[in-house]
Amino acid sequence: MTKFDRRSFLKSSALAAIPALSISSAFANSKPELPENFNASDRVVFRFDGAQLSPMEYLNKLQKINSESPIQMDSYGKGGVVEALEKKFAEITGKEKGIYMPTGTLANQLAIAALSGNQPKVIVQDISHINRDEADANLVYNKQLVPLADNKTYFTAIELEEKIKRLPSEEYFYSGIGAVSVENPVRRAFGEYIPFEELKAIKKVCDEQSIKMHLDAARIYIASAWSGVSIQEYSSLFDTVYISLYKYLGANGGAILCGDAALIDQLPRQIKIHGGNIQANWENAAMALHALDTIEQKWKDVKKRSDELLASLELMPGISIRAKENPTNIYFLQLPENLQIEQMSKRLFEEFNIQINANPNSKDLMLMMNETLLNQPLEKIIQAFKVCISQS
């Protein structure tokens, strides 16, 4: 391929071959070491889903938000800006109610427990956060996870239907399925999103079997920008939807869970039982609520810029780009054999304030696109790569 063409690029890319599992070594749960001038305002950081503010930036931003419109405090998650955030997310997702949660893990677990009632089984993707990264929290709720689609991004509607039909004959004392949970986009598959048509087909199977559905939509705004499917369209297929407040919405933590009022109203007691009822949550809620005003447009801009940057990088000698079949904000740059990646990383940082995640053992450079891509003119970023790739 000589010229970057988005469609053919995506189809011909070979990243589908990159195993989902290798993400654990790539960036799962890693808290990065931040260099000293990390928080310069023109930094471009190809390492996270969001801007990762320093304490000073965080405080300044909170102060600015407060000076524009004084932040109303909550008390144990009730009232004030927390309530405003819950209402806003209910509107965004098209659900009756939203509820603030201290973590996404608790949101996921409480949602699948509430949806499945007395039925013990919950079907999940094998590589989902619920199955791989929540410390078997389902055992606390007496739920048994049934993982589908080993090491793959998602299970298809056909695979789900076959499993549902097969289960009763696979067990002597069959117990029922209470819920199906879907993660989209999929963190351990480098942010790959699930085709909307497939989600609709999965929903049809669940409806036919009267099975409730939960969406782990931690990064749904990113999926939405790349797939063109709105948050409300995604949410309409699911009974409950969880969205993270800290991955790219600027908060330091927290999550929102949306669903029917009857379900959401059961949850305050459950949050308390599990030790998640925090006295003041207004800082997180204020940061996220503020970010919601611009987040959709921001991700659209990031996607456009990301496409343009990748097209230019692809034209540079010795460079090729790989992506998942349905990628979001994560791409892999294959660099020339003789390139010194640590040297390139140092130069990009010191001369251009661009940060990459240099891995000396790999010629594949993982680029995570986020809002910092908008901090410098595109031409400047392209020029920086040109210089550092040709001279490292």
Ligand X SMILES: Cc1ncc(COP(=O)(O)O)c(C=O)c1O
* Interface with ligand X (CB under 6 A): 103-105, 108, 129, 183, 187, 216, 218, 244, 255
By Cβ distance, which residue is nearest to ligand X?
104
Query: Looking at beta carbons only, is 181 or 355 nearer to ligand X?
Result: 181
Report in angstroms how near the CB of residue 199 gets to ligand X at its nearest.
16
Q: Where are the alpha helices (DSSP H) in the chain?
A: 6-12, 23-26, 55-68, 80-93, 104-116, 129-132, 157-170, 196-208, 220-227, 231-236, 261-264, 267-273, 282-292, 295-314, 341-352, 378-390
Nearer to ligand X, 40 or 139 (CB): 139
Give CA separation, 5 vs 10, 17, 321, 327, in Å: 8, 21, 12, 15
CB of residue 101 to ligand X, shortest distance in Å: 8
* Nearest to ligand X of 85, 218 (CB atom): 218
Minimum CB–partner distance for residue 209 and ligand X (Å): 25
Cα 347 from Cα 392, distance rounded (Å)? 8
Question: Which residue's structure tokens are 């990748």?
Answer: 310
28-63 burial, b if ≥16 CB within 10 A, otherwise e?
A: eeeeeeeeeebbeeebbbbbbbbbbbeeeebeebbe
Radius of gyration of the chain (CA): 22
CB 132 to ligand X: min, Å? 10
Nearer to ligand X, 88 or 187 (CB): 187
Task: Tell the smallest beta-carbon distance from residue 245 to ligand X (Å).
Answer: 8
Nearer to ligand X, 103 or 345 (CB): 103
Within 10 angstroms of residue 318's Cβ, the number of other Cβ atoms is 12
- In whole angstroms, the minimum distance from the beta carbon of 218 to ligand X comes to 4
Are 392 and 344 in contact, with CB atoms under 8 Å apart? yes
**Cβ closest to ligand X, residue 126 vs residue 216:** 216
Residues in the chain: 392
Report, in Å, the least distance between residue 217 CB and ligand X.
8
**Closer of 104 and 250 to ligand X (Cβ):** 104
Mutual angle of helices 378-390 and 295-314, in 10-degree steps:
40
